[in-house]
Amino acid sequence: MKLFVDTVKINRFDTISGFVHASSPRYFQNQSGEIEQYDFAAKGNLQKKCSHMTQFIKTVPIKNKFPYVLNQVHSDQIFLLKDKEKTPEQVAKIKADAIITHLSEIPIGIFTADCLPILIYDPGQHVAAAVHAGRKGTCQNIVNKTIRAMSKEYGCRPEALVAGIGPGIGGCCYEIDETCLGTFENKIPFEPPFVKKRENGKFLLDLDAINTREMTVTGLLPENIFRAGECTCCSSMNFFSYRREGQTGRILTFIMMQ
Ligand SMILES: [Zn+2]
């Protein structure tokens, strides 16, 4: 009996040809048939980390490819992967929160547990990006900066891009206080759907709505923005959620051009 999904997809994102993508769920079935949690952090256990990443990539399925991930630090730094000779180990040391490449057959990925993973693809220029858009990155306009970098480096036109928002915490669950909301002053309208005031004096922040607005302001067409539509905090069976659990695992979301 299959209890869980193998991979999580962004709805209708697969109808666009030229790339594969997926997000990892919380659980997988190991070789002994047991249900195990993905552990991409696996502190001090590099072998486990690598075997779990390989295990996930196998379910997609793509063969013998190891995802290129970054040393994410909630920044607005963007890394351009232009050099074919760079190894995943080298890239994993780079402190940045978005990765862009024109290289085919190289999966680029982002780790999250509530933050939004955003994938961007240019079918014409054949360029892809993976963005870590949490509260801090969103506040620093990381998705906008990534699109601008794609334009500058590769001549991508925003209106030709497609974007996919992977599983992240929804506006239903992401409660913040007034001080935290203050960091968004003059950046977003303090009104629905971006911000909702709660009766307890706190606020609900909708990272999906904020990033969608940012992408459309930058020139993406609303019909070219797709989403998994899953709230990580609401869905404990399928996802890790930092807000719900504190110390927890990570979701890996990747895109690979073919
Ligand atoms: Zn929720």
Rounded mean pLDDT for each run of 10 residues along the chain, 258 residues in total: 75 96 94 91 80 90 89 97 95 97 97 97 98 98 98 98 98 97 96 97 98 98 97 91 91 96
Q: How far is the CA of 35 from the centre of ligand 1 (A)?
A: 25
Cα separation values, 199 from 96, 171, 203, 204, Å: 37, 15, 9, 11
Instruction: Please tell me the predicted confidence (pLDDT) of residue 3.
Output: 54
Nearest-angstrom CA–CA distance, 24 and 44: 21
- Residues 25, 249 contacting (CB under 8 angstroms): no
Q: How far is the CA of 193 from the centre of ligand 1 (A)?
A: 14
Q: How far is the CA of 227 from the centre of ligand 1 (A)?
A: 15
Instruction: Please tell me the predicted confidence (pLDDT) of residue 1.
Output: 39
Q: How far is the CA of 215 from the centre of ligand 1 (A)?
A: 22
Bridge-based pairing of strands 225-227 and 162-165 is: parallel
Torsion of CA 51, 22, 237, 202, to 10 degrees: 120
Q: How far is the CA of 232 from the centre of ligand 1 (A)?
A: 7
- Residues 113, 232 contacting (CB under 8 angstroms): yes
Q: How far is the CA of 220 from the centre of ligand 1 (A)?
A: 26
Q: How far is the CA of 245 from the centre of ligand 1 (A)?
A: 13
Q: How far is the CA of 166 from the centre of ligand 1 (A)?
A: 14
Angle in degrees, CA 232, 168, 201, rounded to 5: 85
Q: How far is the CA of 239 from the centre of ligand 1 (A)?
A: 11
Q: Which residues pair with 111 in a beta bridge?
A: 252
Instruction: Please tell me the predicted confidence (pLDDT) of residue 181.
Output: 98
Domain boundary assignment for the chain = 13-169+227-257
Q: How far is the CA of 52 from the centre of ligand 1 (A)?
A: 27
Q: How far is the CA of 150 from the centre of ligand 1 (A)?
A: 32
Residues in the chain: 258
Task: Give, in words, the CATH class of 13-169+227-257.
Answer: alpha beta
**How many Cα atoms are found within 13 Å in the side-chain-facing hemisphere of 37?**
14
Q: How far is the CA of 136 from the centre of ligand 1 (A)?
A: 19
Q: How far is the CA of 168 from the centre of ligand 1 (A)?
A: 9
Q: How far is the CA of 183 from the centre of ligand 1 (A)?
A: 22
